Amino acid sequence: MTTRALALAAGALVVVTALSGCSTLTRDADQAPTTSVPTAVRTPPPGEQSLETFYQQELGWSRCGPAQCAELKVPLDYAAPGKGSIEVAVLRMRATKARQRIGSLVVNPGGPGASGVDYARAADFIVGKPVRQRFDIVGFDPRGVQRSAPVDCLPDPEMDTFLGQDPTPDDPAEEQAFAASAQALAQGCEHRSGALVAHISTVDTAKDLDILRAALGEDRLSYLGKSYGTFLGATYAGLFPKRVGRFVLDGVLPPDATSAEVAAGQAEGFERATRAWAADCVDAGDCPLGGSVDEVMAGMRSLLKRLDSRPVPITQGNVRELTEGWAATGIAEAMYDQGSWGTLTEALRDVVQKDDGTALMSLADQYARRNPDGRYTANLLEAFYAVSCLDNPDTADLKAYEQRAKDASVKAPTWGPLLAWGTLPCGEWPVRSGAKPHKISAQGSAPIVVIGTTRDPATPYEWSVRLRDQLANARLLTFEGDGHTAYARSHSSCLDGAVNDYYTKGKVPPDKLRC
């Protein structure tokens, strides 16, 4: 990613587009008999009677491959619900043991901007088998994302330019060029998306989530949120603490963190993760960037600096040169899962020894949800900014970013400068929501399980500890390992077993369990 796209990692993503749901949908005749839904389940919050029509809607499910799909109607503007609505795409994979079904588990993979529909379609991979058997796995594309009134900011070729540009401006002229690109993105969102751009905050989506809970017939919401999905889940818990059911927040983005704090924390997280990759690269032998961890890290910084002034050729696709921005995007993509470390090593070998950036550009394409021909398959990056900049506005003062880059370089010399500039579009954003970072306690909620991974690049472990300490009723699970998020990804029987038991048996795990 470029600086901008790296800041995008601040929202944190779980890459699932390569997965396809392999479960077969149980025939309707085999489903457990339906029961009537208590009226209270579909009653709007106190003082929100104008939302009654939305809360009382029935979802019209239809088959879509092995899943079932529906559209949920929600108000465009919660302050004026009678003035228009939008439709939110919803998908569910039915419980594989229907007669032992507990209820619906709503999932969100992060972003902001990642598709919950695609994530739920991969149900066999994203939850443990006991959970898959007993819960309908339900995902939705949040408002502004992909199938749900998608926000649009730039034509694809202009998005290529935005992502491929210099992410670490070195002088006033480059800073002004960077600011101009940030402003073009912000103004493009307003121009191409219209009124929608003012109504896609996380608070808006959390309110949609409660309407979805009602439409699913659930008295309480059972939820799995990863990465930015933890921010959405915490926001929901703060708004509707009595509606919290079995909640798991994995890989925390803390609601009280400023955009500057997020950039600095992520820079340290990516630095830590990259050093772990560097150690693996050295241990494997013949690492293309050096013979020790420090040499490899210095070699990576040197390579990025060289690409800033002299990009290398790409032999496939419509992008012909690997710039510093595209290279950083590709490297960051590999940090999300240690399973990609070998691919990154070989891609860097091609750059260093063959002057060929094709393989590293392929990693960048994966991150950006982009085909080699230049067609973006999702509006992930645009939605990221559109949501983030409403949630967490920033300054347009270029001096502030200069200082952030300098400060972040102390603890994160590789990633600090790359990430420090990443939130500049939020300084140029044309719409202000009045939102500010704030602590959430969700007083009165059921127990919330918070998971942190010790070497998570995108959501540093310290952020999970931070949220656990702020929530009034929470338990912290720690995974000692690498990669972004842990549940159903880390292959830890200790952690997965604790979460599976929590969902299926209501067994709340002990606080500070380490796996």
Q: Do residues 434 and 465 make contact, with C-beta atoms less than 8 angstroms apart?
A: no
Catalytic residue among 148, 201, 227, 259: 227
Check 340, 482, 484, 496 and give the catalytic one. Answer: 484
Exposure string for 247-269, b = 16+ CB within 10 A, e = fewer = bbbbbbbbbebebbebbbbbbbb
The answer to whether the beta carbons of residues 108 and 116 sit under 8 Å apart is yes
First vs last Cα of the chain: how many Å apart? 32
The answer to whether the beta carbons of residues 358 and 365 sit under 8 Å apart is no
Q: Give 413's DSSP letter.
A: T
Q: How far apart are CA 304 and CA 301, in angstroms?
A: 5
- Which of 210, 350, 394, 456 is catalytic? The answer is 456
Active site residue 456: yes
Look up tokens 């398959």; give the residue.
377
Question: How many angstroms separate the CA atoms of 250 and 351, rounded?
Answer: 35
Whether residue 484 lies in the annotated active site: yes
Report phi then psi at 245, rounded to 5. -105, -125
Task: Give every CB contact of residue 47 below 8 A, 6+ residues apart in sequence.
Answer: none
Angle formed by the axes of helices 324-335 and 358-368, nearest 10°? 70
DSSP symbols for 32-78: PPP-PPPGGGGPPPTT-GGGHHHHT-----EEETTEEEEEEEEES-T
Q: Would you list the DSSP string of 282-332?
A: HHHS--TT-SSHHHHHHHHHHHHHHHHHS-EE--SSS--EE-HHHHHHHHH
Q: Would residue 438 show up in a list of annotated catalytic residues for this protein?
A: no
- Indicate which residues carry an active-site annotation: 227, 456, 484
